[in-house]
């Protein structure tokens, strides 16, 4: 069961701020950093992680002195701490730059987990490119189901809006023209905008000290992690399998026979990803008897790489509680679909089950469904 969440994006410093901005149809128009002010003397991504952790703990009623495991998902860790400062030209090739990883303790991906350093329990870092955040959540569910932990704090944070990575993605051809921006599942899609985001959720056994009540302490419905699946698409280093076989398999594994009201797609807005993902979803839902809405937050918030999967889960969690789906604000000419509805306006409807998808370079692929009890 998810008992609390935290969120930091370019459009808001909290869950509520970001949610309100999404419903209002706001979106970033360029590669964007997370909202708020930060201390330049310490790793930015770690400060981001701590802020969402504080929000999630407060929402769940957990204390930083409690006993729980901590799992962090990130694709790069505190890269901004050892890469040179960005130049005025965000796509300038830094031929004379030097790179040093000194000063981080511990050095490498584990520094985020060390910096949040709350709770008494094991700490683990999961790095699987853009699937990192969703795989971290799956790992938490596995720990609770296996009895390794009763409660797990899951954090995903990414601060990689840096000339090195912008230039790399530009060479791959996945960044859009300025006049187009990020348009997931749009006929005019051209790529994604990069962004900084952080997300956190508190996860615990659904039976733990909660009795049989169907509502949480605040009167809102209880939302549980229903099913999950993970797999590896080995067809290409950076591109998905054109037939979407792994993706279809995972979607089938987690959907089962119960309807899905909301699909929060990976939806990067690239020419390659979106039609493959939509085709896989159509195959699964072609005989569905109820309406399934498709959403991707990347049109509004950009692509936060290793944090994106957990951002999707936090937004799905909000959709369940608030009975709303934000608009696909940048998608004005949606790809044709017979089984999935793609809305450019906010939708109000009960969300009984939702699906979140994430995929990363190297083939890491994950799917998680949430369910309202």
Across the range 323-338, mean pLDDT stands at 96
Q: State the pLDDT confidence band at 84, using cuts at 50, 70 and 90.
A: low
Q: What percent of the chain has pLDDT over 70?
A: 90
Smallest CA-to-CA distance from 301 within 187, 199, 149 is with: 199
Helix axis angle, 245-255 relative to 273-285, nearest 10°? 40
Q: Give the model's pLDDT for residue 330.
A: 96
- 100-135, pLDDT tens digit by residue? 555 556 667 888 998 887 777 899 999 999 999 999
Q: Give the model's pLDDT for residue 162.
A: 87
User: Is 41 in contact with 241 (CB distance < 8 Å)?
Assistant: no
Of 28-42, 70-84, 150-164, 338-352, the poorest mean pLDDT is in 70-84
Helix axis angle, 308-322 relative to 132-146, nearest 10°? 70
Is residue 89 over pLDDT 60?
no
What's the mean pLDDT when you consider all of the chain? Answer: 90
Across the range 238-265, mean pLDDT stands at 93
Domains plus CATH for the chain? Answer: 2-204 (3.40.47.10), 223-372 (3.40.47.10)
- Termini Cα distance of the chain: 10
Helix axis angle, 15-23 relative to 308-322, nearest 10°? 80
Q: Residue 298 and residue 352: Cα distance in Å, rounded?
A: 23
Q: Give the model's pLDDT for residue 90.
A: 46
pTM (global) more than 0.75: yes
Report helix, strand or coil for 222.
coil
């Amino acid at each position: 069961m998810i008992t609390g969440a935290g969120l930091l994006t370019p459009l808001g410093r909290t869950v509520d701020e970001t949610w309100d901005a999404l419903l209002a149809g706001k979106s970033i128009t360029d590669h964007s950093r997370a909202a708020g002010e930060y201390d330049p003397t310490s790793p930015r991504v770690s400060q981001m992680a701590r802020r969402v952790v504080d929000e999630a703990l407060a929402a769940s009623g957990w204390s930083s002195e409690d006993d729980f495991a901590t799992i962090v998902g990130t694709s790069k860790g505190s890269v901004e701490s050892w890469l040179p400062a960005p130049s005025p030209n965000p796509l300038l090739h830094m031929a004379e730059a030097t790179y040093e990883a000194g000063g981080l303790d511990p050095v490498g991906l584990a520094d985020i987990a060390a910096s949040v350093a709350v709770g008494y329990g094991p700490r683990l870092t999961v790095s699987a490119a853009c699937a990192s955040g969703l795989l971290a959540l799956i790992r938490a569910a596995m720990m609770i189901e296996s009895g390794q932990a009763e409660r797990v704090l899951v954090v995903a944070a990414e601060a990689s809006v840096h000339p090195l990575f912008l230039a790399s993605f530009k060479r791959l051809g996945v960044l859009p023209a300025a006049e187009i921006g990020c348009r997931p599942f749009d006929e005019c899609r051209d790529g994604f905008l990069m962004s900084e985001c952080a997300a956190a959720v508190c996860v615990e056994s659904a039976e733990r000290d909660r009795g049989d009540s169907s509502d949480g302490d605040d009167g809102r419905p209880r939302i549980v992690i229903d099913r999950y699946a993970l797999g590896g698409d080995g067809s290409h280093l950076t591109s998905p399998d054109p037939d979407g076989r792994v993706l279809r398999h995972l979607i089938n594994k987690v959907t089962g026979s119960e309807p899905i009201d909301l699909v929060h797609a990976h939806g990067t807005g690239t020419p390659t990803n979106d039609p493959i993902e939509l085709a896989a979803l159509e195959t699964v839902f072609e005989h569905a008897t109820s309406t399934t809405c498709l959403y991707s937050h990347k049109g509004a918030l950009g692509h936060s790489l290793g944090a994106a999967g957990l951002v999707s889960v936090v937004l799905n969690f909000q959709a369940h509680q608030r009975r709303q789906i934000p608009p696909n604000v940048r998608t004005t000419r949606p790809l044709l679909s017979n089984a999935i509805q793609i809305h450019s306006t906010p939708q109000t409807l009960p969300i009984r089950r939702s699906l979140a998808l994430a995929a990363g370079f190297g083939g890491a692929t994950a799917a998680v469904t949430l369910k309202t009890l």
